[in-house]
A and B are shown apart, each in its own frame.
Chain A
Amino acid sequence: MFKRLAEKGPAISITVDGKPVTARAGDTVASALLGAGIDHCRTTPVTGAPRAPYCLMGVCFDCLVTVDGVGSRQGCLIPVREGMKVETQLGRREAGR
């Protein structure tokens, strides 16, 4: 859906669901997911439908992910850090876990 204009800035290594992903300095968690072509970041609590970042400005809360063990963080507001562990979230009120 997105490509980078230029591979500028130092590379930052994070993991998403345990798999290595290369982000760039200046990325947020949500933009790193988009840049890596990851198609959704959570499933909804009610129907389990997949969701991906929608507004990228802190309004929609569709980019909620688990960051370093803390759940339901707004991925679009959190800058990536070297070694950061990002996990996609299963909604469905934890029943499926």
Chain B
Amino acid sequence: MIAAADLASSYELVVIGGGPAGLAAATLAARAGVATVLFDENPGIGGQIYRAITSTPVSDRAILGKDYWDGAVLADEAKASGALIANGATVWSLDRQRLVGVSIGGKARVIEAGRVIIATGSQERPFPIPGWTLPGVMTAGAAQTALKAQGLVVEGRTVLAGSGPLLWLLAAQTLRAGGRIAAILDTTPRRNWLQAMFHLPDFALSPYFAKGLALLREVRAKVPVHRVGTIEAVGTDRVREVVFSGAGGTRRLPVDLLLLHQGVVPNVNLANAAGVAHVWNDRQICFVPVLDADFGSSVPGIAVAGDGAGIAGGTAAAERGRIAAIAAVRALRPDSVVPDTQAIRQRLQREEMGRAFLDWLNRPADSFRLPVGDTIACRCEEVTAQQVRETAQMGCEGPNQMKAFLRCGMGPCQGRLCGLTVTELIAAERKTSPDEVGYYRLRPPVKPITLAELASLPISEVERKAVER
């Protein structure tokens, strides 16, 4: 375990995030002789897709599957690369001068970076349905994390709801681990096929095609699947029932655990706070950073690799990390030998091939992104969709002004679970585009730190003299 005091005051390259993009980037750069540190806030490397890859208690490899275990190679390579890997390291600040504020074990440091690669990946898209804040309602990603990292498998009456590859992957992994799933509520609108089918030929050539079909078959053989247009989690102290409606009318199921998922979106908080320009991506219905071909952002010396650059999956994330790392090595040490970028770009292209199909097919319906009435939009400050809509109708033009009216986005999650909802609600009410409306302007610290952690920052003699008179 690396302590804050063990860190140098500067590194040529700071990589933030220990998922596939961060691991691949750190490995490549360190092998090229670049002084590299990787900060990851989790107890172990792997990110979300390869969560707990070095420590998972799930020893039967069939349960999590080959794609998960492929991550062990990335982890091993990173550990042997010479890059310094710091886990339990929370990056709470990054600025345009590439000063990185990081906290490890309750002690903070500010580190100078020659270059920075943000590899903070994605998060699950907000799924604002009635009752989504009740205990017993979690994300599918949460259940998968608990399975990978702690070998916890669902118990009792479990219902999965939503759309997207992860929902089906979690279902398959749960069944293989001996867990039971009472039902899957599929929210994918049928009309999505109209757009998706144009991209089917590309998808058929991508590695995800055969895998996807096999997963669907495996799960559908064991779990009843209902196609639904509305979902509500019902209960007072915790979720007791899930109420859903579809072609067959309205039904209720008693439930102990409701797992929601409707795709993933880039985790923009750190890049946004660093001043990286973002743009609305209409196909993926989210904000993505504006990047060049080497994943360099609008802020000199800061790149964004992996799913944080736009959703493309774990294998693509590693390739993107390598491309960003090659650009960093070339800038820092022009004489170093680096791998051929062209071969990496070809592999990346192959990985990204089926993405348009997946994006269009799994595009969440408006009704699951644009809530109405008392449904909570901002979980932290308990702001309802109706409040956001009414405030927009009154003339509030954007999410930052909305904070002043309603405090949405000002709670501990700093807009991570309401940002897209609030932007889209304002755009809908004001009949404009999400790009026009924009996103929360985020500021450091992007993760909470205590005053004691700030006070633990080393102070130079010059700084001390500046305040002691």
The answer on a CB contact under 8 Å between B146 and A31 is yes
How far apart are the CA atoms of A8 and B60 in the complex, in Å?
13
- Least Cβ–Cβ distance between B293 and chain A, in angstroms: 29
Instruction: Please encode chain B, from 231 to 249, with 1 for each CB lying within 8 Å of some chain A CB and 0 for all others.
Output: 0000001100000000000
How far apart are the CA atoms of A49 and B239 in the complex, in Å?
13
**Which residues, 47 to 67 on A, are CB-close (under 8 Å) to B?**
47, 49-62, 64
Q: Which listed residue (B141, B238, B256) contacts A55, Cβ 8 A?
A: B141
Q: Of the 9-residue stretches B50-58, B301-309, B352-360, B437-445, which lies at the interface with chain A?
A: B50-58
User: Which of B139, B149, B152 gathers the greatest number of chain A CB atoms within 10 Å?
Assistant: B152
A95 interface residue per 8 A CB criterion: no
List the A side residues contacting B151 at CB < 8 Å. Answer: 4-6, 8
List the A side residues contacting B256 at CB < 8 Å. Answer: 1
The answer on a CB contact under 8 Å between B142 and A1 is no
Task: Please name the residue on chain A nearest to B158 by beta carbon.
Answer: A1
A39 interface residue per 8 A CB criterion: yes
A26 and B57 contact, Cβ closer than 8 Å, known pairs A31-B150, A54-B137? yes
Q: Interface majority SS on B: helix, strand, loop or mixed?
A: loop
Instruction: Please encode chain A, from 29 to 42, with 1 for each CB lying within 8 Å of some chain B CB and 0 for all others.
Output: 00100110001100
How far apart are the CA atoms of A64 and B448 in the complex, in Å?
11
Instruction: Please encode chain A, from 70 to 84, with 1 for each CB lying within 8 Å of some chain B CB and 0 for all others.
Output: 101010110100000
The answer on a CB contact under 8 Å between A2 and B42 is no
List the A side residues contacting B124 at CB < 8 Å. Answer: 55, 59
A87 interface residue per 8 A CB criterion: no
The answer on a CB contact under 8 Å between B416 and A59 is yes
User: Which of A8, A52, A59, A72 gathers the greatest number of chain B CB atoms within 10 Å?
Assistant: A59
A2 and B135 contact, Cβ closer than 8 Å, known pairs A57-B123, A70-B450? no
How far apart are the CA atoms of A35 and B138 in the complex, in Å?
15
A1 and B156 contact, Cβ closer than 8 Å, known pairs A50-B135, A55-B138, A59-B413? yes
Instruction: Please encode chain B, from 21 to 51, with 1 for each CB lying within 8 Å of some chain A CB and 0 for all others.
Output: 0000000000000000000011100001000
How far apart are the CA atoms of A59 and B238 in the complex, in Å?
21
List the A side residues contacting B238 at CB < 8 Å. Answer: 39-40, 50, 52
List the B side residues contacting A79 at CB < 8 Å. Answer: 43, 88
The answer on a CB contact under 8 Å between B139 and A55 is yes
List the B side residues contacting A31 at CB < 8 Å. Answer: 146, 149-150, 152
Q: Of the 9-residue stretches B92-100, B163-171, B337-345, B375-383, which lies at the interface with chain A?
A: B375-383
A1 and B413 contact, Cβ closer than 8 Å, known pairs A26-B55, A59-B123, A77-B41? no
The answer on a CB contact under 8 Å between A56 and B450 is no
A64 and B412 contact, Cβ closer than 8 Å, known pairs A1-B257, A31-B150? yes
A60 and B152 contact, Cβ closer than 8 Å, known pairs A5-B58, A54-B142? no
Instruction: Please encode chain B, from 402 to 433, with 1 for each CB lying within 8 Å of some chain A CB and 0 for all others.
Output: 00000000011100110000000000000000
The answer on a CB contact under 8 Å between A60 and B417 is yes
Q: Interface majority SS on A: helix, strand, loop or mixed?
A: loop
Task: Please name the residue on chain A nearest to B376 by beta carbon.
Answer: A49
Task: Please name the residue on chain B nearest to A44 by beta carbon.
Answer: B382
How far apart are the CA atoms of A28 and B257 in the complex, in Å?
20
B385 interface residue per 8 A CB criterion: no
List the B side residues contacting A96 at CB < 8 Å. Answer: none
List the B side residues contacting A45 at CB < 8 Å. Answer: 411
Task: Please name the residue on chain A nearest to B87 by beta carbon.
Answer: A79
Instruction: Please encode chain B, from 373 to 403, with 1 for each CB lying within 8 Å of some chain A CB and 0 for all others.
Output: 0000001111000000000000000000000
List the B side residues contacting A97 at CB < 8 Å. Answer: none
- Least Cβ–Cβ distance between B346 and chain A, in angstroms: 31
**Which residues, 143 to 158 on B, are CB-close (under 8 Å) to A?**
145-147, 149-156, 158
A55-B139, A60-B417 are known contacts; what are 12 more A-B pairs with Cβ within 8 Å? A1-B256, A5-B147, A6-B57, A8-B57, A26-B150, A27-B150, A46-B381, A49-B382, A55-B417, A57-B145, A59-B124, A59-B416
The 4 closest A-B pairs by CB, nearest first: A52-B135, A56-B142, A61-B412, A5-B151
Residues on A lying within 8 angstroms of B by beta carbon are 1-6, 8-9, 24, 26-28, 31, 34-35, 39-40, 44-47, 49-62, 64, 70, 72, 74, 76-77, 79
